[in-house]
Amino acid sequence: MKRAFDILASLTGLVLLSPVLAVAAILIKLTGRGPAIFRQERVGRHFRPFRIYKFRTMVVGAHEMGPGITAAGDPRVTAIGRILRKTKIDELPQLYNVLRGEMSLVGPRPELPKYVNLFRAEYEEVLAVRPGITDPASIAYRDESPLLAKTRDPEDQYLHVILPEKLRLAKEYVHRSSFLYDLRLILTTLASIAYPGKSLDRLFNSMSPHRYPIAAVAQSALLVAAHYLAFLIRFDGQIPDREFHLFLQTAPALLALQLLLFHPFRLYRGLWRYVSIQDLKSIAASLTLSSAAWWLLSGLVRPFAGYPRSVMILDWVLSLALLGGVRLLRRINRELGPPTPHTRSVLVISSGDAAERVLRGLLAGGQGKYRVVGLIDKEAKHTGDRIHNVPVLGGQENIEAIIGREDPDEILVTISTTPVADRKDIVRLCKKFGKPVRMIPDLPDILAGKELTSLALDIEPDDLLFREPIRTDLGAIRDTYGSRRILITGAGGSIGSEISRQVAACKPRLLVLFEKHEASLYMIDKELRSLYPALEIESVIGDITDEERVREIMKKTAPHVVFHAAAYKHVPMMERNPAEAFKTNVLGTRTVSALAGECKAEVFVLISTDKAVEPLSVMGRTKRIAELMLQELNGTKPTKYLTVRFGNVLESSGSVIPLFREQIEAGGPVTVTHPEVTRLFMTIPEAVQLILLAASIGKGGETFVLDMGKPIRILDLAKALIRLSGLSPGRDIEIVFTGLRPGERLFEKLVNDHEKVWKTSHPKLLMAVSEGSERRAREEILQHVALMESAIGADLAAKVCEPAKRLLAQARG
- pLDDT tens string 244-303: 988 888 889 899 999 888 888 888 777 777 788 888 899 999 999 998 998 888 877 777
Residues 6 or more apart whose CB falls under 8 angstroms from that of 286 comprise 258, 261, 262, 264, 265, 267
Let me know whether 436 and 486 are in one domain: no
Residue 216 has pLDDT above 90, yes or no: no
Closest CA relative to residue 247, chosen from 222, 217, 226: 226
Q: What is the mean pLDDT of the chain?
A: 82
Instruction: Band the pLDDT of 662: cuts 50, 70, 90.
Output: confident
pLDDT tens for 60-84 read: 877 777 777 787 778 888 889 888 9
Q: Report the distance separating Cα 106 and Cα 435, nearest Å.
A: 30
Question: How many angstroms separate the Cα of 445 from the Cα of each of 238, 340, 398, 511?
Answer: 58, 29, 27, 37
Shared-domain flag, residues 367 and 327: no
Q: Write down the pLDDT at residue 761.
A: 63
Domain boundary among 175, 195, 215: 195
C-alpha dist (Å) from residue 176 to 91, 179, 375, 406: 24, 10, 17, 9
Task: Assess if residue 467 is contained within a domain.
Answer: no
- Is 491 found in the same domain as 432? no
Q: Show Cβ contacts of residue 749 under 8 Å, excluding neighbours closer than 6 positions.
A: 610, 613, 614
Q: Which amino acid is at 359?
A: L
Summarised one tens digit per residue, pLDDT across range 449-489 is 554 444 444 455 555 555 555 566 666 677 778 889 999 99
User: What band does 343 get if pLDDT is binned at 50, 70 and 90?
Assistant: low
Model pLDDT, residue 451: 46
Beta bridge partners of 488: 513, 563
The secondary structure of residue 60, as a DSSP letter, is: T
Pairing of strands 49-55, 37-43: antiparallel
Residues 670 and 789 placed together within one structural domain of the fold: yes
User: Is the sign of the CA dihedral 132, 134, 136, 138 positive or negative?
Assistant: positive
User: What does the DSSP 8-state code read for residue 588?
Assistant: I
Does residue 108 belong to any structural domain of this protein? yes
- Cα distance between residue 400 and residue 382, in whole Å: 18
Judge whether 606 lies within some domain.
yes
Cα separation, 160 vs 167, whole angstroms: 11
pLDDT tier at 704 (50, 70, 90 boundaries)? confident
Q: Where are the beta strands (DSSP E) in 450-501?
A: 485-489
pTM: 0.51
CATH number (domain holding residue 426): 3.40.50.720
Beta carbons within 8 Å of 16's beta carbon, 6+ residues apart: none
Last residue of a domain, one of 335, 369, 385: 335
**602 shares its domain with 742:** yes
Amino acid at position 214, single letter: I
DSSP strand pairing (755-759 vs 765-770): antiparallel
| Range of weakest confidence among 2-6, 456-460, 561-565, 666-670 | 456-460
Q: At residue 573, what are phi and psi to the nearest 5 degrees?
A: -65, -40
Report yes or no on 813 lying in a domain.
Answer: no
Which of 188-192, 258-262, 495-499 bottoms out in mean pLDDT, i.e. has the lowest? 188-192
Task: Give percent of the chain above pLDDT 90.
Answer: 30
- Taking the CB of residue 136, how many other CB atoms lie within 10 A of it? 24
Q: Are residues 242 and 376 in the same domain?
A: no
813 pLDDT exceeds 50? Answer: no
Q: Where are the beta strands (DSSP E) in 524-634?
A: 537-541, 561-564, 603-609
List the one residue out of 400, 408, 276 whose CA is nearest residue 390. Answer: 408
Angstrom distances, CA of residue 395 to CA of 399, 440, 488: 7, 19, 47
Alpha carbons 540 and 514: distance in angstroms, whole number: 5
Buried b (16+ CB within 10 A) or exposed e, 624-653: bbbbbbbbbbbeebebbbbbbbbbbbbbbe
Residue 313 included in any domain? yes
What three-state secondary structure class fits 32?
A: coil
Active site residue 611: yes
Catalytic residue, from 166, 611, 640, 764: name it: 611
Same structural domain, 280 and 405? no
Same domain, 660 and 624: yes
Residue, of 352 and 432, whose pLDDT is higher: 352
Question: What single-letter DSSP state applies at residue 741?
Answer: P
Question: In the prediction, which pLDDT does 699 show?
Answer: 86
The domain boundary residue, chosen from 429, 458, 487 = 458
Q: Using the 8-state DSSP alphabet, how is residue 125 labeled?
A: H
Tell me the C-alpha distance between 259 and 1, whole Å: 58
**Confidence at residue 221, expressed as pLDDT on a 0 to 100 scale:** 93
List Cα–Cα distances, 590 to 484, 627, 782, 797, in angstroms: 24, 10, 10, 20
Q: Measuring CA to CA, which residue among 319, 20, 365, 400 is closest to residue 193?
A: 20
Residue pair 708/750 in contact by the 8 Å Cβ criterion: yes
3-state SS string for 288-332: HHHHHHHHHHHHHCHHHCCCCHHHHHHHHHHHHHHHHHHHHHHHH
pLDDT digits (tens, 9 = 90+) for 130-149: 999 999 888 888 877 877 87
- Rounded to whole angstroms, the Cα distance separating 570 from 122 reads 47
596 φ, ψ to 5°? -65, -40
Verify that 699 and 572 share a domain, yes or no.
Answer: yes
- 670 with 594, same domain: the answer is yes
Residue 811 inside a domain? The answer is: no
Lowest mean pLDDT among 166-170, 610-614, 633-637: 610-614
Is the pLDDT confidence value at 94 over 90?
yes
Q: If we measure between CA atoms, which residue out of 703, 705, 680 comes closest to residue 690?
A: 705
Amino acid letter, residue 720:
A
> Other CB atoms closer than 10 Å to residue 133's CB: what's the count?
25
DSSP, residue by residue, 179-210:
HHHHHHHHHHHHHHHHS-HHHHHHHHHHHGGG
Per the structure, the complete domain to which residue 492 belongs is given by: 475-803
Contact residues for 284 (Cβ-Cβ < 8 A; gap 6+): 320
- Is residue 139, in this structure, part of any structural domain at all? yes
Domain count, the chain: 4
463 found inside a domain: no
Q: Which among 225, 247, 240 is positioned nearest to 318, based on CA atoms?
A: 225
Statement to judge: residues 562 and 656 lie in one domain: yes
**Both 437 and 510 in a single domain?**
no
